[in-house]
Amino acid sequence: MDLDQWFLTMRERDNPACELPAWCAGNDVRPLVDGATYFARLAEEVPELGPGDQLFFTDWRGDADELLTPDGPAVAELFGDAARRGVLVKGLMWRSHSDELAYSEKENRQLGDEVREAGGEVLLDQRVRLAGSHHQKLVVLRRLGDPARDVVFVGGIDLCHSRRDDATHAGDPQSLPMAAVYGEHPPWHDVQLEVHGPAVGMFDAVFRERWNDPRPLDLYSPLARIRDALDGADMVADPLPDQGPDPAPAGEMSVQVLRTYPSTRPGYPFAPNGERSVARGYAKALRRARRLIYLQDQYMWSPHIARLLAAALQRSLELHVVVVVPRHPDVDGRLALPPNQVGRLEALEVCRRAAADRLHVFDLENHCGTPVYAHAKVAVMDDVWAAVGSANLNRRSWSHDSELTAGVLDERPDGRRPADPGGLGDGARRFARDLRLELMRHHLDRGPGDDADLLDPDGAVAAFESAASALDAWHDAGRAGPRPPGRLRPHRPEHLPLHTKLWAAPVYRLVYDPDGRSWRDRRRNRW
């Protein structure tokens, strides 16, 4: 398999300032499905760090008191204890909008303060586009005396309330308020990757680039900088020691770092005109897909990205697109809800016009019938290319906020039939296929290995459709008799009247899904 048929080349990344390699071979990558699995791994790995080791993290939201296991420790306790042991702890938290706007300025500041009191350093980073955010979710653990044990966690899971849910989807006991339909403890589905091998060095470099950015931490608000100074906030990053050597090869997977940085003035030193390798990486993989595109996404609400899916459906008449999304947005209310709905309605309509019979959209519920909020950002194309990260399938994630996604290509072929679903000679690959099958079994209530009918794309689509239809029929019959297995329901977005669309559509485009590209790229419709 030629990796550059799926991965971006350096030229295709289109960021001359990028110093990362195009991709990195020799890695072991493991999916961690749901927050309880990821948090338990953090609680195992961080206590093993000792004096001189390094813990770097970035996050969109962090809650100091979020328990990583039922008996603790909490996030601030785990990271603070590491700092007290002499571990070099550095963090970059999005500064965030205020809590009055349902964001997390106080919580992010509190986590930073508690880690700083223990001897670490956490900066509140607002070096973003106006009304944008830092959305990357990354933890880098480096053992300078034993680099073979270095590990990176990257994906869609924040270190905050609501994320510690497990396969039962009963919700995190420490929950954030959401739309009422999700209940007191909203069920939450998510995915993170655990990466071992030389790719650790690439993610270490991603953190260091942001840490070493010489621009002020808040680009737009002199008043905020004055307030931070009066509050004693850390406003200058201390120097980091030189980056250590990359770990030795640990597996047979190649990893590509995909990022979004918006076009800003002044620009990022490492992306002066921005970087949209998430968008370009997805677009390249979509152009090569022939049989099955499997997606899990929090939004799937931008018609701009939907046009790429529609083009893929038109390019290959055997291609099916399977998408798992939340049943409802995370907010409700007369003003907040319609802009969240209108984008997905437009995106799904674009795809349905291309091939309604080959677009399959589902949402999730737990065994009590409560909807599960599908926050994961996962893509698998033809059981070859896989990606997990922080970036959603919308214009904001592809151009406006900072994002971080890992693309994975496994050198090991998967011998199960069909051996080459796409028919292009790439052959199914073990990581991508295993990831898809694990997630599908998860949603179908199946145990390990119960997936022979899911290997072929047509069989996988049939299994999803059958399970969702059976559960729908059970609900329609008043839940009489045993509940059918699975958590899948056909996704039926609510109809919006024309008078609502007239005001919700422009609000959606300007506020919820803004465009962070330069005017030149917008005119050219160029990602």
243 & 279 share domain:
no
Beta strands per DSSP E along 265-306: 275-276, 292-296
Domain count, the chain: 2
320 & 238 share domain:
no
What percent of the chain has a predicted confidence (pLDDT) above 70?
A: 98
298 & 375 share domain:
yes
Q: Is residue 421 in some structural domain? A: yes
Cβ burial, residue 190 (10 Å; 0-12/13-18/19+):
buried
> What distance in Å separates the CA atoms of residue 27 and residue 147, rounded to the nearest whole number?
13
Residues 6 or more apart whose Cβ sits within 8 Å of residue 161: 63, 66, 172, 174, 175, 176
Note the pLDDT tens digit of each residue in 49-72.
999 999 999 999 999 999 999 999
Q: Is residue 218 in some structural domain? A: yes
What pLDDT band is residue 102 in, cutting at 50, 70 and 90? low
Structural domain boundaries, residue 32: 27-251
Per-residue pLDDT for 99 more than 60?
Answer: no
Residues 6 or more apart whose Cβ sits within 8 Å of residue 337: 179, 329, 331
The residues facing 276 across adjacent strands are 260
191 & 284 share domain:
no
Torsion, Cα of 7, 12, 13, 17 (10° steps):
130
**Weakest mean pLDDT among 260-264, 341-345, 358-362, 413-417:** 341-345
pTM score, whole prediction:
0.97
> Which has the higher per-residue pLDDT, 266 or 102?
266
316 & 209 share domain:
no
Quote the pLDDT of residue 122: 96
Length of the chain (residues)? 527
Per-residue pLDDT for 100 more than 70?
Answer: no
83 & 145 share domain:
yes
103 & 234 share domain:
yes
Q: Is residue 17 in some structural domain? A: no
Q: Is residue 331 in some structural domain? A: yes
DSSP three-state, residue 148: helix
Q: From residue 470, how far is each of 198, 309, 419, 489 by CA, in Å?
A: 46, 28, 30, 9
Q: Is residue 509 in some structural domain? A: no
The residues facing 389 across adjacent strands are 405
Q: Is residue 125 in some structural domain? A: yes
Note the pLDDT tens digit of each residue in 448-482.
999 999 999 999 999 999 999 999 999 999 999 99
Q: Is residue 259 in some structural domain? A: no
Q: Domain containing 246 — which CATH number?
A: 3.30.870.10
Note the pLDDT tens digit of each residue in 303-359.
889 999 999 999 999 999 999 999 999 988 877 889 889 989 999 999 999 999 999
Say how many C-beta atoms besides its own lie within 10 A of residue 266's C-beta: 12
Torsion, Cα of 423, 424, 430, 431 (10° steps):
-120
The pairing of strands 403-410 and 385-389 is: antiparallel
Say how many C-beta atoms besides its own lie within 10 A of residue 184's C-beta: 11
219 & 298 share domain:
no
